Amino acid sequence: MKFFDRMVNLLGSRTKKRQNAQSIIPSRLNLLLWIVGILLLALTMRLFYLQVLNGTSYKAEVKRSDTSIQTNNVQRGMIYDSQGNVLVGNQTHQAITYTKGANVTNAQLYAIANRLGRYISVSNKNSRLTDRNEEDYYLADKERLKSVLKHVKTTEDDSEDDKYDKALDYLSSHPDSWELTSQQKNNARIYAAMSGAYSLSTTYIKETGVSAKELAAVGEHLNEMPGVKIGTAWTRNYPQGTDIQSLTGTVSTTGLPSDSVNSLLAQGYSRNDSVGQSYLEKRFQATLAGSKSQTQVTTSGNDVTKETVKYKGKKGDNLVLTINAKFQKRVQEILKDNYGSAGKQYSTGVYAVVMNPNTGAIYAMAGIDRDPETGKETPDEIGAINHPITMGSVVKPAMVMGALMDGVITPSNNTLVDQPIKVAGTSSKGSWFNHGGSANMALNAATALEVSSNSYMMQLLMKEGGMKYSPNAPITLKPSIFAKARGYFNMFGLGVKTGIDLPGETSGYTGPADQKHIGSALDLSYGNYDGYTTIQLAQYMSTIANGGNRMRPYVVQSIRGTKADGKLGPVQYTTQPQVQATIPASKADFDVVRQGLYQVVHGSNQYITGRALASVKPSISGKTGTAETYYKKHATTTLSFAGYAPSNNPQVVVALAIPGASDSDGGANLNMAKQIFQAYWKIVQSPSDVNK
């Protein structure tokens, strides 16, 4: 009986377990179905959000991602001289380029750079490597980034960019904790060039010096490096010699210049683009650069499915200069050949400008910069517009013109006695031939220019300032005399920017103009106080030569396109002569000064200063100049000259200066002027054409 009861209980217990298990299964199934239902509902809502509420915007986004514009560089415009000779041309090179994909990650760039680095060598000359470039390359490796971040304190609120910035700071402050190998630095240059490119823009990885071995290796592995191609690059060459670079300027070879990178990026340039970085190349960057080609690229994921050329691009337009290359080279040679006779121990250079007085066109602009400490000399044509020089007596014609316009002398009443000038509290100041008073003589304005009388100019200034001169009497001039005298000088272009179409022009130097320095006003009158540039000297003499029109100097004659055969194409723009100001003086006033300039060369006075030019045909009129200057307490003499020819029908102006010479009697300024005039009539214009 007990056994029977135990069996009944056992069977009952098993029946209950089966019933409990059967009741649990439907509950779990129901829970699972509810979860699936909720997920399906969430998915349905998401699809509704994507397709119905925001479908249009996402379709537009997909379209933008699939179709983009790829840009490629074009050949830069060239620079020609007035005779059509190439001054600055382009040399073609095979190059390694990279076109950045639309969705390329830094990790992909890093991988491509490392692979490309196996096949080509990129020097620092080809691509400048900065500390930041090295740091970016180092951290492009995810494992290295993780390792650096272990040494950096970060928070949960830090974004990925914040963490990256902290990693950069760590590398900068712990330079001994990491270092790139020479191979890694090579790869880093490539990585930097790739990173600096805009999406779907083409940049140069190696622009010059690509060897045949490198070309073959890259070509064999192009399919392993998306975006890398073998292309064509152009670099500047100089068929007439590299000296012209100091006038035309240069083009960057390592990307955008650091001093203007932000403004150029805002204009749409890529960081690795080559742009003009000085003088004409910089001033006319937009003209010379041309327009990049545009190719519509259709992609599917990271694969390019179609390329359609939308715009072939346009080669940069060409500059045609007023400068004659042969004459320019000859003027530079003349300066170099005669510079030594000036006594150049303490001299800082020599500069010359040759200009058409009737139009403002510059035929030649030459110069040499010299370091007195080392004696090193370098071509410096542009120094003619940015090197202020105390010119000396060459400015005296402007002083006479000012006195005539001011009415203190007239064309018929302008005789004064040359005598040493002595005012209380100052040392005696006199003309070069009459320091002691033994050569006192009556001079009219023309003869005062012929003999280069300092005394005559000081007396004119005192008259303009309302001061009646008496030996040893106190000076009664007021500081306003500085502004008055400078105002007349400025009318002719001395002490003001000429407006030449080159960047970097300076207005010169002006000395203090207060009562403490009132005695220096006398020095100002004969050119021994303020500083002027050689281009100002040329503009000033041109204004006298043409009868009163201050012409704006210019070096760009025209802008022209390019024909299909590569030769100069149609004219896009021609520079027109521009009169900046007309001098409010009578013809009689100009006749007085022009007669004086003629007598400087062809006069009969024993103290004539320009007789060395008398034999040159056609006839020259001009003014010599000397100034007492100093170089680090060493007494020097600045030599200068400005003149025009022919005297009766001016066609050309020559202006030159030799700052800091030590031999005032060497005649270097006149020898240079003579040879420049002779070269002009031989190379640029025939004397027989003057009166045609």
Active site residues: 393
- Given a contact cutoff of 8 angstroms between Cβ atoms, the answer to whether 82 and 181 are in contact is no
Q: What are phi and psi of 31, to 5 degrees?
A: -65, -40
CA 179 – CA 185 distance, rounded (Å): 9
**CA-to-CA dists, residue 422 to 441, 455, 498, 590, angstroms:** 17, 10, 36, 31
Q: Which helix (H) or strand (E) holds 624?
A: strand 621-631
**CA-to-CA dists, residue 556 to 288, 352, 522, angstroms:** 13, 18, 39
Residue tagged 């050689």 (tokens): 534
Q: Which helix (H) or strand (E) holds 383?
A: helix 383-386
Q: Are strands 634-645 and 621-631 parallel, antiparallel or unpaired?
A: antiparallel
**CA-to-CA dists, residue 442 to 370, 415, 420, angstroms:** 42, 6, 13
CA 540 – CA 497 distance, rounded (Å): 11
Q: Are strands 318-321 and 79-80 parallel, antiparallel or unpaired?
A: parallel
Q: What are phi and psi of 310, to 5 degrees?
A: -95, -30
Helical H segments across 48-159, by residue range = 55-66, 106-116, 131-140, 142-149
DSSP letter for 114, please.
Answer: H
Q: Verify cis geometry, omega within 30 degrees of 0, for the bond prior to 577.
A: no
> How far is CA 80 from its chain centroid?
18
Phi-psi label, residue 462: left if phi above 0, alpha if psi -120 to 50, beta otherwise: alpha
CA 377 – CA 324 distance, rounded (Å): 23
Q: Tokens representing 622?
A: 């001009």
Helical H segments across 179-284, by residue range = 182-195, 212-220, 245-248, 261-266, 279-283
DSSP letter for 501, please.
Answer: S
- Given a contact cutoff of 8 angstroms between Cβ atoms, the answer to whether 541 and 643 are in contact is yes
CA 692 – CA 685 distance, rounded (Å): 12
